[in-house]
Chain A
Amino acid sequence: MKTIYMDHNATTPMRPEVVSAMQPYLGEKFGNPNSIHRYGRETRIAIENARDNAAALIGAAEGDEIFFTSGGTESDNWALRGVISAARGRGHIVTTAIEHEAVLATCQTLEAEGVEVTYVKPNRQGRVSAEDVATAIRPDTKIVSVMWGNNEVGTVQPVHEIGAICREHGILFHTDAVQALGKVEVDVERAGVSLLSATGHKINGPKGTGFLYVKKGTELDPFITGGGQEQKLRSGTENVAGIVAMGEACRLAKTEGPQSAKNIAAMRDRLENEICEHVPDVLVNGDTAHRLPGTSNLGFIGAEGETLLIRLDLEGIAVSTGAACSSGSPEPSHVLLAMDLPQETVQGSLRFSLGYGNSDADIDRLLEVLPEAVGKVREMAPRLKSTKT
């Protein structure tokens, strides 16, 4: 069966260029970049080159503002804990109710340790307002953490306005740009960002790779201590092959990102318009005016997301749901709930996320399968719901 992958917000396939770039570092080029001899020099050059590519992708002034980590989760943990630790474990954090768990769970742990956290609520389109963020700032606020683009509904947050507000107040601004990178223009200088989290596997790089951008002069304690790699801020022998691959992914994202974002947005718009045309009672979740190019989160009223997902999966089409239980937790998506969507929209929501490798033919195939799948799932529903429109 030909399979179609429409779950690029979960992870992305590695591009062939990325695989070739990392290959030598899985084999003959195995040196420890901290060794003085030629083996070490060779891999050091390679990871510094990757650092420059990462810096260029986000508009960082200096390559040495990039610190390699194991991914988005570690970067988020480090940014928040590192800032709070540098502030002697005290203070207040402003974040949002729609952050990734990597931020939310970290904030909850910090709360248990005595830090105070304000979770700003988004509007019904999943966007927070910069004014609400400004209002939440207190004299003891140490850091504001607002994601650049949301992973579930794709809503792009007003990071530039928030960055300006933080700059005015002299407060650090952290943004989780895991989903935005390579899809919308990310420029840390223009956005006034002090810390930025990124991951390799959402930009066609490998899993288990990522980085934290730390603006020069930011007070940040290390999170992982040891041999003092990465300017003594992130210890552990570097994941050379992974870093080289992520560097290549960053380079490709920089050169091809803007054009591919346009193509992907056009495909996404077609997918969304045609689904809404061919399937009754579908609602678009998110903010169509401020949205990542590949993401479409749709609520199929009177259907249930997970059964739809599995029906599509059995037809070879991979999508995702943020609705109940499917993520290993019995609670529905905290993002959709924070948007105050009615339960039937949350229950019937599916996320389509397009990216590298998708084509119009994939959308044709989806449109062959989806209307019937939705019809079948709706037919099964108890009478009360199925008669509802």
Chain B
Amino acid sequence: MAPRDDYHYNETVLAHIADPHNIGVIEDADAEGSGTNPVCGDEVTLYLKFEDETVTDARIRILGCGAITAAMSSLTDMVRGKTADELSEITAEEIAQSIGGLPTHKRHCATLARRVLQNALKSRNLKNSP
């Protein structure tokens, strides 16, 4: 193949943007985290439901570009069945890889996705602490 296209989205990313997974809100969420990118105005909220210490449901709300949409959409699939400890280990790189990678100028979106996940985990700890 010609030199790698570091500009366009791959087919996996495009499919997520066309039909993002798990859009919505969990009213009685056990964890909820938000994040924004002040430069472009992207805003994301992630809701998580835990049962027996593992994630059983994950939902998102998004106002953001294609990359953050795809990253969050994929993240909602990745988190299912995982424990909080396992979630805390998920890296931005893993999120980007789960959608086949992102163009260099969009990598910050995977970082934002990870930060939103971390914020959600923090909120769960707060809820759990007496």
Least CB distance from A3 to B in Å reads 15
What's the least CB distance linking B34 to chain A, in Å? 7
Q: For residue B41, which residues in chain A have a CB less than 8 angstroms away from its CB? A: 304, 324, 332, 343-344, 346-347
Determine whether the beta carbon of A304 is less than 8 Å from that of B108.
no
Give B72 Cβ to nearest chain A Cβ, in Å: 10
Residues 52-80 of B, flagged 1 when their CB comes within 8 A of A and 0 if not, give 00000000111111110100000000000
State A200–B114 Cα separation when bound (angstroms). Answer: 45
- Check B18 against A382 for contact (C-beta < 8 Å): no
Is the Cβ of A382 less than 8 Å from the Cβ of B40? no
B24: nearest chain-A partner, CB-CB:
A380
Q: Is the CB of A326 within 8 A of B45?
A: no
Q: Is the beta-carbon distance between B106 and A325 smaller than 8 angstroms?
A: yes
A323 within 8 Å of B (CB atoms): yes
CB-nearest residue of chain B to A381: B63
Contact B69 A307 (CB under 8 A): yes
Interface pair B14/A381, CB less than 8 Å apart: no
Q: Which of B18, B62, B108 contacts A380 (CB 8 A)?
A: B62
Q: A302-B63, A325-B65, A381-B62 are in contact. Are A330 and B14 (CB under 8 A)?
A: no
Bound: A75/B39 CA distance, A:
32
A343–B43 alpha-carbon span in the complex (Å) = 12
Chain A residue nearest in CB terms to B20: A380
Chain A 19-38 interface 0/1 with B at a Cβ cutoff of 8 Å (1 = within): 00000000000000000000
A290-310 contact mask (Cβ, 8 Å, vs B): 1 or 0: 000000000000111011001
Contacts of B105 in A (CB 8 A): 325, 328-330
CB distance from B82 to the nearest CB of A (A): 24
Q: Cβ of A304 and Cβ of B61 under 8 Å apart? A: no
B14 (CB) vs chain A CBs: closest residue: A310
Q: Which of A323, A346, A380 contacts B61 (CB 8 A)?
A: A380
Query: Is there an interface contact between A383 and B63, defined as CB atoms closer than 8 Å?
Result: no
Give the CA-CA distance A149 to B8 in the complex, in Å: 28
Q: How far is the CA of A386 from the CA of B43 in the complex (A)?
A: 11
Determine the residue in chain B with the shortest Cβ distance to A347.
Answer: B41
* CA A326 to CA B23, docked complex, whole Å: 23
Whether A385 sits at the interface, judged by CB under 8 Å, is yes
Contacting pair B18 A314 (CB below 8 A) = yes
Q: How far is the CA of A314 from the CA of B1 in the complex (A)?
A: 24
CB within 8 Å for A304 and B45 given contacts A328-B105, A382-B34? no
CB interface residues, A 363-389, toward B, < 8 Å: 379-386
Q: Taking the complex as formed, is A311 at the interface, i.e. its CB lies under 8 A from any CB of chain B?
A: yes
B37, closest chain A residue (CB)? A324
Question: Quick one: closest A residue to B45, CB to CB?
Answer: A382
Residue of B nearest to A384 (CB): B43
A-B interface, 3 closest residue pairs, ranked by CB to CB distance from nearest? A324-B40, A381-B63, A382-B61
29 residue pairs of the A-B complex, CB under 8 angstroms, read A302-B63, A304-B65, A306-B65, A307-B69, A310-B66, A311-B17, A314-B14, A324-B39, A324-B40, A324-B42, A325-B40, A325-B105, A326-B65, A328-B103, A328-B105, A331-B39, A332-B39, A332-B41, A344-B41, A347-B40, A380-B60, A381-B61, A381-B63, A382-B34, A382-B43, A382-B44, A382-B45, A382-B62, A385-B43
| Chain B residues engaging chain A, CB cutoff 8 angstroms | 7, 9, 14, 17-18, 20, 23, 25, 34, 39-45, 60-67, 69, 103, 105-106, 108
